Structure 1
Amino acid sequence: MLSSRAEPLDAWNALNEKQHALFNSGKQVLVTEKIQDTPWPYFHIYFLVHATPMQAAAVFWDAPRAPHFIPHCLNVTVCTRPAANVAVVDYELQVPFFSNEVSKVRNILKSLPQDRGYEVSWNVLHSKYSKSGRGSFLVVPHEKESLICYSNFIDPGSIIATVLRRYAERQVQEVAVAIADQIEHEAQHDPELMRQQEEELKKALEN
Protein backbone atom coordinates (compact mmCIF):
# COMPACT_ATOMS: atom_id res chain seq x y z
CA MET A 1 0.00 0.00 0.00
CA LEU A 2 1.29 3.46 -0.89
CA SER A 3 0.63 6.35 1.42
CA SER A 4 0.67 10.05 0.49
CA ARG A 5 -1.66 12.96 -0.08
CA ALA A 6 -3.73 12.75 -3.26
CA GLU A 7 -4.95 15.74 -5.25
CA PRO A 8 -7.85 14.22 -7.23
CA LEU A 9 -8.47 17.24 -9.49
CA ASP A 10 -5.03 16.68 -11.04
CA ALA A 11 -5.17 12.92 -11.01
CA TRP A 12 -2.01 12.04 -12.93
CA ASN A 13 0.26 14.62 -11.31
CA ALA A 14 -0.98 13.59 -7.89
CA LEU A 15 1.05 10.38 -8.27
CA ASN A 16 4.80 10.06 -7.79
CA GLU A 17 7.20 8.19 -10.12
CA LYS A 18 6.89 4.90 -8.24
CA GLN A 19 3.12 5.13 -8.39
CA HIS A 20 3.24 6.02 -12.10
CA ALA A 21 5.23 2.84 -12.76
CA LEU A 22 2.74 0.72 -10.81
CA PHE A 23 -0.17 2.40 -12.57
CA ASN A 24 1.37 1.92 -16.03
CA SER A 25 1.82 -1.79 -15.32
CA GLY A 26 -1.98 -2.05 -15.28
CA LYS A 27 -2.42 -2.24 -11.52
CA GLN A 28 -4.54 -0.16 -9.19
CA VAL A 29 -2.74 2.46 -7.14
CA LEU A 30 -4.12 2.87 -3.64
CA VAL A 31 -3.25 6.12 -1.87
CA THR A 32 -4.27 6.72 1.73
CA GLU A 33 -4.61 10.22 3.13
CA LYS A 34 -4.63 10.65 6.89
CA ILE A 35 -7.50 12.79 8.14
CA GLN A 36 -6.97 14.43 11.52
CA ASP A 37 -8.95 13.05 14.46
CA THR A 38 -10.52 10.20 12.48
CA PRO A 39 -9.64 6.48 12.72
CA TRP A 40 -9.94 5.77 8.99
CA PRO A 41 -8.03 7.47 6.18
CA TYR A 42 -9.33 8.98 2.96
CA PHE A 43 -8.89 6.27 0.33
CA HIS A 44 -7.98 7.24 -3.25
CA ILE A 45 -7.75 4.51 -5.89
CA TYR A 46 -6.38 5.24 -9.35
CA PHE A 47 -6.99 2.91 -12.29
CA LEU A 48 -7.39 2.85 -16.07
CA VAL A 49 -10.40 1.74 -18.09
CA HIS A 50 -10.67 1.00 -21.80
CA ALA A 51 -13.54 3.43 -22.39
CA THR A 52 -14.15 7.13 -22.92
CA PRO A 53 -14.59 9.49 -19.95
CA MET A 54 -18.23 9.96 -20.95
CA GLN A 55 -18.84 6.21 -20.96
CA ALA A 56 -17.20 5.81 -17.55
CA ALA A 57 -19.13 8.70 -16.02
CA ALA A 58 -22.41 7.50 -17.54
CA VAL A 59 -22.09 4.07 -15.95
CA PHE A 60 -21.23 5.51 -12.54
CA TRP A 61 -24.01 8.13 -12.64
CA ASP A 62 -26.60 5.38 -13.15
CA ALA A 63 -26.77 4.70 -9.40
CA PRO A 64 -29.83 2.39 -9.40
CA ARG A 65 -27.88 -0.19 -11.40
CA ALA A 66 -25.14 -0.42 -8.77
CA PRO A 67 -26.56 -3.54 -7.05
CA HIS A 68 -26.08 -5.44 -10.31
CA PHE A 69 -22.30 -5.22 -10.07
CA ILE A 70 -21.09 -3.56 -6.83
CA PRO A 71 -20.13 -6.12 -4.13
CA HIS A 72 -22.38 -6.11 -1.05
CA CYS A 73 -24.63 -3.38 -2.49
CA LEU A 74 -28.17 -4.65 -1.93
CA ASN A 75 -30.42 -1.78 -2.95
CA VAL A 76 -30.18 1.73 -4.37
CA THR A 77 -33.15 4.08 -4.66
CA VAL A 78 -33.16 7.63 -6.00
CA CYS A 79 -35.35 9.60 -3.57
CA THR A 80 -35.30 13.07 -5.09
CA ARG A 81 -33.57 15.11 -7.78
CA PRO A 82 -33.24 18.70 -6.48
CA ALA A 83 -31.59 19.58 -9.80
CA ALA A 84 -30.87 17.72 -13.02
CA ASN A 85 -27.31 17.01 -11.93
CA VAL A 86 -28.13 16.26 -8.28
CA ALA A 87 -29.56 13.02 -6.90
CA VAL A 88 -30.41 12.19 -3.30
CA VAL A 89 -30.04 8.44 -3.04
CA ASP A 90 -30.73 5.75 -0.44
CA TYR A 91 -28.18 2.92 -0.27
CA GLU A 92 -28.43 -0.39 1.56
CA LEU A 93 -25.14 -2.25 2.00
CA GLN A 94 -24.30 -5.58 3.56
CA VAL A 95 -21.54 -5.37 6.20
CA PRO A 96 -19.91 -8.19 8.19
CA PHE A 97 -20.85 -8.77 11.85
CA PHE A 98 -23.58 -6.08 11.85
CA SER A 99 -27.01 -5.54 10.37
CA ASN A 100 -27.14 -3.84 6.98
CA GLU A 101 -25.85 -0.30 6.61
CA VAL A 102 -28.49 2.16 5.38
CA SER A 103 -27.44 5.62 4.27
CA LYS A 104 -28.77 8.65 2.42
CA VAL A 105 -26.29 10.33 0.07
CA ARG A 106 -26.32 13.43 -2.14
CA ASN A 107 -24.59 12.83 -5.49
CA ILE A 108 -23.59 15.80 -7.66
CA LEU A 109 -22.47 15.46 -11.29
CA LYS A 110 -20.38 18.02 -13.14
CA SER A 111 -18.34 18.20 -16.33
CA LEU A 112 -14.81 19.56 -16.07
CA PRO A 113 -13.69 22.65 -18.02
CA GLN A 114 -12.26 22.27 -21.53
CA ASP A 115 -13.68 18.76 -21.95
CA ARG A 116 -11.25 17.44 -19.35
CA GLY A 117 -13.67 14.83 -18.07
CA TYR A 118 -16.35 14.41 -15.41
CA GLU A 119 -16.71 14.24 -11.67
CA VAL A 120 -19.40 12.81 -9.43
CA SER A 121 -18.97 13.96 -5.83
CA TRP A 122 -21.04 12.89 -2.86
CA ASN A 123 -21.75 13.64 0.78
CA VAL A 124 -23.39 11.33 3.28
CA LEU A 125 -26.49 13.03 4.69
CA HIS A 126 -27.46 10.27 7.11
CA SER A 127 -25.96 6.91 7.98
CA LYS A 128 -26.77 4.12 10.37
CA TYR A 129 -23.13 3.59 11.36
CA SER A 130 -21.08 6.57 10.14
CA LYS A 131 -20.69 10.05 11.59
CA SER A 132 -19.97 11.51 8.17
CA GLY A 133 -18.72 10.58 4.73
CA ARG A 134 -17.77 12.01 1.38
CA GLY A 135 -16.05 11.04 -1.82
CA SER A 136 -15.75 11.47 -5.54
CA PHE A 137 -15.48 9.65 -8.85
CA LEU A 138 -13.18 11.61 -11.15
CA VAL A 139 -12.59 10.48 -14.74
CA VAL A 140 -10.24 12.22 -17.16
CA PRO A 141 -8.71 11.25 -20.52
CA HIS A 142 -5.32 9.56 -20.34
CA GLU A 143 -3.70 8.78 -23.68
CA LYS A 144 -6.30 6.58 -25.45
CA GLU A 145 -8.00 5.45 -22.26
CA SER A 146 -9.58 7.00 -19.18
CA LEU A 147 -7.93 7.52 -15.82
CA ILE A 148 -10.25 7.21 -12.86
CA CYS A 149 -9.65 8.39 -9.32
CA TYR A 150 -12.22 6.82 -7.00
CA SER A 151 -12.07 8.46 -3.57
CA ASN A 152 -13.98 7.57 -0.44
CA PHE A 153 -13.85 8.75 3.15
CA ILE A 154 -15.96 7.54 6.06
CA ASP A 155 -15.73 8.71 9.65
CA PRO A 156 -17.17 5.63 11.37
CA GLY A 157 -18.98 5.35 14.63
CA SER A 158 -16.80 3.95 17.42
CA ILE A 159 -18.57 0.60 17.37
CA ILE A 160 -17.22 -0.30 13.94
CA ALA A 161 -13.98 1.72 13.74
CA THR A 162 -11.67 -1.07 14.88
CA VAL A 163 -13.65 -4.08 13.69
CA LEU A 164 -14.10 -2.96 10.09
CA ARG A 165 -10.89 -1.00 9.33
CA ARG A 166 -9.37 -3.69 7.11
CA TYR A 167 -12.73 -4.49 5.58
CA ALA A 168 -13.21 -0.84 4.59
CA GLU A 169 -9.92 -0.76 2.68
CA ARG A 170 -10.64 -4.06 0.94
CA GLN A 171 -14.18 -2.97 0.08
CA VAL A 172 -12.99 0.24 -1.59
CA GLN A 173 -10.57 -1.76 -3.73
CA GLU A 174 -13.25 -4.30 -4.65
CA VAL A 175 -15.66 -1.53 -5.63
CA ALA A 176 -13.03 0.03 -7.90
CA VAL A 177 -12.46 -3.31 -9.65
CA ALA A 178 -16.21 -3.83 -10.07
CA ILE A 179 -16.69 -0.35 -11.52
CA ALA A 180 -13.86 -0.84 -14.01
CA ASP A 181 -15.19 -4.24 -15.07
CA GLN A 182 -18.72 -2.90 -15.56
CA ILE A 183 -17.59 0.10 -17.60
CA GLU A 184 -15.49 -2.06 -19.92
CA HIS A 185 -18.20 -4.72 -20.20
CA GLU A 186 -20.82 -2.20 -21.28
CA ALA A 187 -18.44 -0.38 -23.62
CA GLN A 188 -17.58 -3.62 -25.39
CA HIS A 189 -20.69 -5.78 -25.08
CA ASP A 190 -23.79 -3.71 -24.23
CA PRO A 191 -23.86 -0.65 -26.51
CA GLU A 192 -27.62 -0.11 -26.11
CA LEU A 193 -27.42 0.19 -22.32
CA MET A 194 -24.37 2.41 -22.68
CA ARG A 195 -26.22 4.64 -25.15
CA GLN A 196 -29.12 5.05 -22.71
CA GLN A 197 -26.78 5.91 -19.85
CA GLU A 198 -24.91 8.46 -21.97
CA GLU A 199 -28.21 10.12 -22.86
CA GLU A 200 -29.11 10.36 -19.16
CA LEU A 201 -25.70 11.85 -18.43
CA LYS A 202 -26.16 14.50 -21.12
CA LYS A 203 -29.63 15.39 -19.81
CA ALA A 204 -28.26 15.78 -16.29
CA LEU A 205 -25.64 18.24 -17.54
CA GLU A 206 -27.91 20.32 -19.78
CA ASN A 207 -29.03 22.74 -17.07
Structure 2
Amino acid sequence: MPIRLELPTTFAERLRASDRALIGLWACAGSQITAEIVAGSGCDWVLLDAEHSPNGLESVLAQLYAMSAYPVAPLVRPPYGDTVLIKQYLDLGAQNLLIPMVDSAEQAAEIVRAVRYPQSGVRGVGSALARSARWNRVEGYLGRASETISLTVQIESAAAVADVTRIAETDGVDALFVGPSDLAASMGFLGQQSHPDVVAAVMRSIEAG
Protein backbone atom coordinates (compact mmCIF):
# COMPACT_ATOMS: atom_id res chain seq x y z
CA MET A 1 0.00 0.00 0.00
CA PRO A 2 1.29 3.52 -0.77
CA ILE A 3 2.17 5.58 2.26
CA ARG A 4 -0.10 8.48 3.20
CA LEU A 5 1.47 11.92 3.46
CA GLU A 6 0.75 15.30 5.01
CA LEU A 7 1.82 18.59 3.48
CA PRO A 8 3.93 21.22 5.27
CA THR A 9 2.24 24.15 6.97
CA THR A 10 1.65 27.11 4.69
CA PHE A 11 3.23 30.53 4.82
CA ALA A 12 -0.10 31.98 5.98
CA GLU A 13 -0.32 29.47 8.84
CA ARG A 14 3.20 30.37 9.90
CA LEU A 15 2.36 34.07 9.80
CA ARG A 16 -0.68 33.57 12.00
CA ALA A 17 1.20 31.38 14.48
CA SER A 18 4.27 33.60 14.82
CA ASP A 19 4.73 36.23 17.52
CA ARG A 20 7.44 37.97 15.50
CA ALA A 21 8.13 39.13 11.97
CA LEU A 22 9.09 36.32 9.62
CA ILE A 23 12.44 36.85 7.91
CA GLY A 24 12.96 35.70 4.34
CA LEU A 25 15.28 35.76 1.35
CA TRP A 26 14.81 35.80 -2.42
CA ALA A 27 16.40 33.09 -4.58
CA CYS A 28 16.80 34.50 -8.08
CA ALA A 29 19.60 32.42 -9.61
CA GLY A 30 17.45 29.59 -10.97
CA SER A 31 19.74 27.12 -9.21
CA GLN A 32 18.65 24.29 -6.93
CA ILE A 33 22.07 24.42 -5.26
CA THR A 34 21.63 28.08 -4.37
CA ALA A 35 18.06 27.42 -3.23
CA GLU A 36 19.20 24.63 -0.92
CA ILE A 37 21.99 26.75 0.55
CA VAL A 38 19.54 29.58 1.22
CA ALA A 39 16.93 27.18 2.64
CA GLY A 40 19.44 26.05 5.25
CA SER A 41 20.42 29.57 6.29
CA GLY A 42 17.97 29.79 9.17
CA CYS A 43 15.45 32.12 7.54
CA ASP A 44 11.70 31.54 7.79
CA TRP A 45 10.85 31.69 4.09
CA VAL A 46 12.52 31.75 0.69
CA LEU A 47 10.93 33.17 -2.44
CA LEU A 48 11.62 31.60 -5.84
CA ASP A 49 11.11 34.36 -8.38
CA ALA A 50 9.86 33.62 -11.88
CA GLU A 51 8.84 37.19 -12.73
CA HIS A 52 12.22 38.91 -13.00
CA SER A 53 14.56 35.91 -12.73
CA PRO A 54 15.56 33.04 -15.07
CA ASN A 55 13.10 30.57 -13.59
CA GLY A 56 10.53 28.37 -15.31
CA LEU A 57 8.41 25.41 -14.29
CA GLU A 58 11.27 22.91 -14.42
CA SER A 59 13.75 25.00 -12.45
CA VAL A 60 11.15 25.92 -9.83
CA LEU A 61 10.30 22.23 -9.40
CA ALA A 62 13.97 21.35 -8.93
CA GLN A 63 14.34 24.08 -6.31
CA LEU A 64 11.21 22.98 -4.45
CA TYR A 65 12.71 19.49 -4.24
CA ALA A 66 16.02 20.90 -3.00
CA MET A 67 14.32 22.95 -0.29
CA SER A 68 11.92 20.25 0.88
CA ALA A 69 14.31 18.85 3.49
CA TYR A 70 14.48 22.16 5.36
CA PRO A 71 12.03 23.79 7.82
CA VAL A 72 11.52 26.82 5.60
CA ALA A 73 8.41 28.00 3.76
CA PRO A 74 9.05 28.22 0.01
CA LEU A 75 7.11 30.89 -1.85
CA VAL A 76 6.87 31.07 -5.63
CA ARG A 77 6.23 34.20 -7.67
CA PRO A 78 4.89 33.42 -11.17
CA PRO A 79 5.51 35.94 -13.95
CA TYR A 80 1.90 37.13 -13.68
CA GLY A 81 -1.46 36.04 -12.34
CA ASP A 82 -2.52 33.82 -15.22
CA THR A 83 -5.00 31.04 -14.38
CA VAL A 84 -3.13 28.39 -16.38
CA LEU A 85 0.26 29.32 -14.95
CA ILE A 86 -1.14 29.32 -11.43
CA LYS A 87 -2.55 25.82 -12.00
CA GLN A 88 0.83 24.59 -13.22
CA TYR A 89 2.77 26.04 -10.29
CA LEU A 90 0.24 24.64 -7.83
CA ASP A 91 0.46 21.20 -9.42
CA LEU A 92 4.25 21.33 -9.05
CA GLY A 93 3.68 21.52 -5.31
CA ALA A 94 4.06 25.26 -4.81
CA GLN A 95 1.82 25.84 -1.79
CA ASN A 96 2.62 29.51 -1.26
CA LEU A 97 2.14 31.90 -4.16
CA LEU A 98 3.06 35.57 -4.48
CA ILE A 99 1.14 37.07 -7.40
CA PRO A 100 2.52 40.30 -8.89
CA MET A 101 0.66 43.33 -10.21
CA VAL A 102 -2.72 42.92 -8.52
CA ASP A 103 -4.52 46.21 -9.08
CA SER A 104 -8.06 45.65 -7.78
CA ALA A 105 -10.23 43.56 -5.50
CA GLU A 106 -11.91 42.10 -8.57
CA GLN A 107 -8.56 40.91 -9.92
CA ALA A 108 -7.67 39.51 -6.50
CA ALA A 109 -10.95 37.57 -6.43
CA GLU A 110 -10.19 36.06 -9.85
CA ILE A 111 -6.78 34.93 -8.60
CA VAL A 112 -8.43 33.33 -5.57
CA ARG A 113 -10.69 31.43 -7.97
CA ALA A 114 -7.60 30.29 -9.87
CA VAL A 115 -6.14 28.61 -6.77
CA ARG A 116 -9.39 26.85 -5.80
CA TYR A 117 -11.13 23.85 -7.28
CA PRO A 118 -14.76 24.04 -8.47
CA GLN A 119 -17.28 25.02 -7.27
CA SER A 120 -15.35 27.73 -5.42
CA GLY A 121 -12.91 28.24 -8.27
CA VAL A 122 -11.63 27.18 -11.66
CA ARG A 123 -8.43 25.25 -10.91
CA GLY A 124 -8.13 22.22 -13.16
CA VAL A 125 -8.28 18.86 -11.41
CA GLY A 126 -5.20 16.72 -12.00
CA SER A 127 -4.21 15.58 -8.52
CA ALA A 128 -3.32 12.04 -9.59
CA LEU A 129 -0.65 13.53 -11.87
CA ALA A 130 0.53 16.26 -9.53
CA ARG A 131 3.14 16.67 -6.83
CA SER A 132 0.72 19.03 -5.03
CA ALA A 133 -1.29 16.00 -3.86
CA ARG A 134 1.81 13.80 -3.80
CA TRP A 135 0.14 11.82 -6.57
CA ASN A 136 -3.04 11.30 -4.51
CA ARG A 137 -1.10 10.19 -1.45
CA VAL A 138 -2.32 13.16 0.60
CA GLU A 139 -5.53 11.92 2.19
CA GLY A 140 -8.56 13.94 1.10
CA TYR A 141 -6.50 16.46 -0.84
CA LEU A 142 -9.22 17.52 -3.26
CA GLY A 143 -11.64 18.35 -0.47
CA ARG A 144 -9.18 20.46 1.50
CA ALA A 145 -6.75 21.70 -1.13
CA SER A 146 -7.52 25.35 -0.41
CA GLU A 147 -6.36 24.82 3.18
CA THR A 148 -2.93 23.79 1.87
CA ILE A 149 -2.45 26.94 -0.23
CA SER A 150 -1.35 30.41 0.85
CA LEU A 151 -1.98 33.40 -1.41
CA THR A 152 -0.10 36.68 -1.15
CA VAL A 153 -0.76 39.46 -3.66
CA GLN A 154 1.49 42.34 -4.59
CA ILE A 155 0.48 45.98 -4.33
CA GLU A 156 2.53 47.64 -7.06
CA SER A 157 0.52 50.48 -8.59
CA ALA A 158 -1.35 53.62 -7.68
CA ALA A 159 -4.57 51.83 -8.66
CA ALA A 160 -3.79 49.01 -6.24
CA VAL A 161 -3.11 51.45 -3.40
CA ALA A 162 -6.42 53.17 -4.12
CA ASP A 163 -8.20 49.81 -3.73
CA VAL A 164 -5.89 48.29 -1.13
CA THR A 165 -8.49 47.97 1.63
CA ARG A 166 -10.85 45.95 -0.57
CA ILE A 167 -7.95 43.85 -1.87
CA ALA A 168 -6.89 43.05 1.70
CA GLU A 169 -10.46 42.09 2.60
CA THR A 170 -10.86 39.73 -0.37
CA ASP A 171 -11.74 36.26 0.88
CA GLY A 172 -8.84 33.94 0.12
CA VAL A 173 -6.12 36.61 0.13
CA ASP A 174 -3.83 35.81 3.05
CA ALA A 175 -1.29 38.63 2.86
CA LEU A 176 -0.17 41.70 0.94
CA PHE A 177 3.34 42.41 -0.32
CA VAL A 178 4.22 45.92 -1.47
CA GLY A 179 6.45 46.29 -4.53
CA PRO A 180 7.94 49.79 -4.13
CA SER A 181 9.81 49.93 -7.45
CA ASP A 182 6.80 49.40 -9.70
CA LEU A 183 4.65 51.44 -7.34
CA ALA A 184 7.03 54.39 -7.64
CA ALA A 185 7.05 54.06 -11.42
CA SER A 186 3.25 53.99 -11.61
CA MET A 187 3.12 57.18 -9.54
CA GLY A 188 5.51 59.00 -11.87
CA PHE A 189 8.59 58.58 -9.68
CA LEU A 190 10.60 55.99 -11.60
CA GLY A 191 13.60 54.90 -9.53
CA GLN A 192 12.53 57.08 -6.59
CA GLN A 193 11.25 54.54 -4.09
CA SER A 194 12.08 56.86 -1.19
CA HIS A 195 10.00 59.76 -2.53
CA PRO A 196 7.65 60.94 0.25
CA ASP A 197 4.54 60.22 -1.82
CA VAL A 198 5.73 56.67 -2.51
CA VAL A 199 6.58 56.11 1.15
CA ALA A 200 3.12 57.34 2.12
CA ALA A 201 1.52 54.92 -0.36
CA VAL A 202 3.59 52.05 1.04
CA MET A 203 2.56 52.90 4.59
CA ARG A 204 -1.10 53.09 3.57
CA SER A 205 -0.81 49.60 2.09
CA ILE A 206 0.89 48.23 5.19
CA GLU A 207 -1.84 49.66 7.39
CA ALA A 208 -4.53 48.09 5.20
CA GLY A 209 -2.86 44.69 5.44
What's the TM-score bracket when you normalise by the shorter of the two chains? under 0.3
Structure showing greater relative contact order (alpha-carbon pairs closer than 8 Å, 6 or more residues apart): 1
The structure with more strand, counted as a fraction of residues = 1
The structure with more helix, counted as a fraction of residues = 2
TM-score, normalised relative to structure 2: 0.28
